[in-house]
Structure 1
Amino acid sequence: MVRPAEARAVFELGLRNLRRLQYHDPAEPGWHVIARLLRPLEAVNAALDSPPTPHRRRAMLDVIALLLTHSAETGRVYWGWTTQEWTRLLGRTQAEFHQHAPAWVGDEVRPYLAAHAYLLGSFNEFHQLGSFQRLTLSWRIFGRDRVTSDIARVRTVLRAWGYQLGQDDDTLLPAVACQLR
């Protein structure tokens, strides 16, 4: 459960501060109050294999703001959410995601939210989320080199068995392998 002081701190910090926009104040006392909620979110962002572009950094920070505000509003901490709660927040489609997300949340947030759902909420019902880049999600979570290496090993075995699915130009195998991870 979100502690009352944590919920107050989230609301008092406000969106500009939570999103770490131009007027972000890292010295604001509320940051210390929500440290228990913030540390795991920042650890996930630090661990994701994602190019450090400003656009991606903005999306990752917005995921933190979204999860903190949603936790404060519901009174439930993200690490205790059910599969249904994660599915509702992620949406079964991009359009459904926007139906439940605040207006300030952009399209680029959903893929990073999916990574947080997997790593912090043990969410693995990705088949419920419709079409999205599963290979990119796998790269972010497990690392591009590891995923590419694992898929190459499977391709080698399938080619040795005579399957066409294992050819280098096949895009189905990576999609299937990423769904199984």
Structure 2
Amino acid sequence: MSGPAVGIPARRSVKPFRAQQQLAHHQQRPPLADEFFIEAPAGLDRVAKQRMMREVTAAIDEAFRMPDVRVWLRDYDADNVAQDGDIGGVPVRPVCFLEAPELADLDAKRTMAGKLHAAIHAAYGEIADTDETLVLMNHYPLENAGWAGRLQSDNAEAVAHIDQLNAR
């Protein structure tokens, strides 16, 4: 039998529409993204996580001025973390990793580090040792970053953004 049954409207395929939406979204996305990973103890509620992630995003966005900041939270039970080989001997110290393009402005990095520390401390201060939170900033030249199947050094928009960012 071909076509829909009488009285039942034909079902349209949504795949072409979704493909158009995805293409439009892809074209609007920035050429670069900052990724921030937080490794910390389990125990934050959703509200505290959301507040912290917004503060982290704002701090990174202020430094890099890129609208695509992604924050990843990896939380661990205390039984899965050891300090100096001792499980549960001391409160967990969060550690964070920023994966981002190169940033030459040391003042922007200092300000960002302070704001990141404040956000982590505000969220985890009651359940972790946040006085010595470590934030490792891994900055990559564009020739060492691929996005959407190509090197960012081949992406004129990405090169222009990083040149402008580092010209200040």
Structure with greater helix percent = 1
* TM-score of the superposed pair, with normalisation by structure 2: 0.30
Structure with greater strand percent = 2
Larger Rg: 2
Question: Which protein, 1 or 2, shows the higher relative CO under an 8 Å CA cutoff with sep ≥ 6?
Answer: 2
